[in-house]
Amino acid sequence: MYITRREYFNAAHKIANPEWDEAKNQEVFGGCANPNWHGHNYVLYVTVKGNINKETGFVVNLKKLSGVMRKHIIEKVDHKNFNLDVPFLKDILPSAENIAVAFWNELEKPVSDLGCKLHSLRLHETENNYVEYFGEK
């Protein structure tokens, strides 16, 4: 059985390869390379899988899953700058893809401690763009 929890947060970032000059970063990343940063209203979906507990009828208590998401991700990134303020994103080019992998790494163990397995993580950066990550296979 699979179950998904959604959380929201806001964050800023700049996507620019430090090995490239400003012109090349603008060519490849466009407005995402803005030297003055830019931000998004993110939506994070975390899907877990497991067996239904006969006593509760739950795969996981969604209140506890929400607490894990808030403690390990939301409280660390909400209204922050990914490039400057988030230690687990240090030295990582903060594309949606890389952010999703970093979030997975932060969540995998605490989700497992709830008695279920992290199945997928979907990160919506805009209404039109999202990434979905299923972990390393």
Return the SS3 of 10. Answer: strand
Nearest residue to 133 via CA among 102, 100, 99, 111: 100
pLDDT above 80 for 55: yes
pLDDT of 95 reads 97
Phi, psi of 134 (to 5 degrees): -115, 15
Tell me the two tokens of residue 42: 């993110």
Q: So what's the pLDDT on residue 9? A: 98
**pLDDT confidence of residue 104:** 98
Tokens for 112, please give them. Answer: 């497992």
Report pLDDT for 42.
Answer: 98
pLDDT, mean of residues 72-90:
97
Q: Looking at residues 97-122, what average pLDDT do you find?
A: 98
125 catalytic? Reply is yes
124 has catalytic annotation: no
Q: For the chain, how long is the longest CA-to-CA vector? A: 60
Residue 136: pLDDT band (50, 70, 90) is: confident
The pTM is what?
Answer: 0.96
In tens, the pLDDT along 36-50 reads: 999 999 999 999 999
Q: Is 32 a catalytic residue?
A: yes
The residue-averaged pLDDT of 90-112 equals 97
Give the pLDDT score at 116.
97
Tell whether the model's pLDDT for residue 137 goes beyond 90.
no
96: pLDDT strictly greater than 90: yes
Q: Are 134 and 120 in contact (CB under 8 A)?
A: yes
Which residues pair with residue 39 across a beta bridge? 12
Residue corresponding to tokens 């179950």: 3
State the catalytic residue, choosing from 7, 32, 40, 119.
32
H helices present in the chain, as ranges: 22-29, 62-69, 75-77, 82-85, 96-113
Task: Summarize the confidence of residues 108-132 as an average pLDDT.
Answer: 97
Closest by CA to 90, choosing from 81, 100, 31, 123, is: 81
Q: Euclidean distance between the first and final Cα of the chain, in Å?
A: 20
Catalytic residue among 22, 27, 38, 79: 79
